[in-house]
Amino acid sequence: MKNRIHNLQSRTLSDKTFLLKEYTYEYTHTDVHTPETHLREVYDHGDGASVLLYNITKKTIVLTQQFRLPTFLNGSGSGMSIEVCAGSLDGDSPEVCVKKEALEETGYAISSVEKAFSVYASPAIMTEIAHLFIAEYTDEMKVEKGGGLDHEEEYIDVLELDFEKAFDMIQTGEIKDARTVMLLQFLKIKDIMVS
């Protein structure tokens, strides 16, 4: 397939925290079509990584809960969101990132992670690739309090939940975060938490 994008141009709309750009380009749908001019806004805050911690013996998982302004603005009520540990790569490898985020957010020092898959987080408007992992934890791995970093204004509650209860929370709407839903489904499909 030949390149269908021509005359790509951009201008920065905002670079306060992350980068928001407006792009114009010509797109040719097929060889018989005349190029069409398109205008799109694209948000770039870098790639990220997430990890779902699970304990085979106890049949539990560890999630986080924190306030998210976008969910509050879009009708969630309290704005509180239940999620897996996650963060921006900030120059680290995805594996290093999730180990660091797990320690900061939950207090668990995980030693190894298993890659589940990578996905585009929201391909219509974002460049981000989300790298998703699972990792086994034990009570002995709890070496810090967790709760996030004060200087990043993170106020995170650590939740240890029964896996089946957490999985049911997708259906009840208590868990709506896409990465969390995908990783809970991944763990279910792998049959890791079977009695």
DSSP letters of the chain? ----EEEEEEEEEE-SSSEEEEEEEEE-SSTTSPPEEEEEEEEE---EEEEEEEETTTTEEEEEEEE-HHHHHTT-SS-EEEE-EEEE-TTS-HHHHHHHHHHHHH-B-----EEEEEEESSTTTB-PEEEEEEEE--GGGB-S--S--GGGT---EEEEEEHHHHHHHHHHTS---HHHHHHHHHHHHTTTT--
pLDDT at 2: 59
Task: Give the domain extent around 63.
Answer: 48-189
Nearest 5°: phi and psi at 98? Answer: -70, -35
Tokens of 174: 């208590």
Residue 195 lies in a domain: no
Dist. CA 119–CA 136, nearest whole Å: 22
* Same domain, residue pair 62 and 130: yes
pLDDT at 57: 95
* Same domain, residue pair 33 and 63: no
* Same domain, residue pair 52 and 32: no
pLDDT at 3: 83
2-58 confidence digits (pLDDT tens): 588 889 999 999 999 889 999 999 998 876 678 899 999 999 989 999 999 999 999
Closest by CA position to 13, among listed 48, 47, 44, 46:
44
Q: What is the CATH number of the domain that holds 95?
A: 3.90.79.10
99-112 confidence digits (pLDDT tens): 999 999 999 999 99
* Same domain, residue pair 18 and 56: no
**Higher-pLDDT residue of 152, 117:** 117
Mean pLDDT of the chain: 92
* Same domain, residue pair 35 and 111: no
Residue 105 lies in a domain: yes
* Same domain, residue pair 150 and 65: yes
Asked whether 20 and 1 are in contact (CB, 8 A), the reply is no
Residues sharing a CB contact under 8 Å with residue 142, sequence separation 6 or more, in sequence order: 107, 108
Q: Burial of 11 by CB count in 10 Å (0-12 exposed, 13-18 middle, 19+ buried)?
A: exposed
Please give the share of the chain, as a percent, with pLDDT higher than 90.
79
Dist. CA 5–CA 8, nearest whole Å: 7
What is the average pLDDT across 186-195? 86
pTM: 0.90
pLDDT at 193: 81
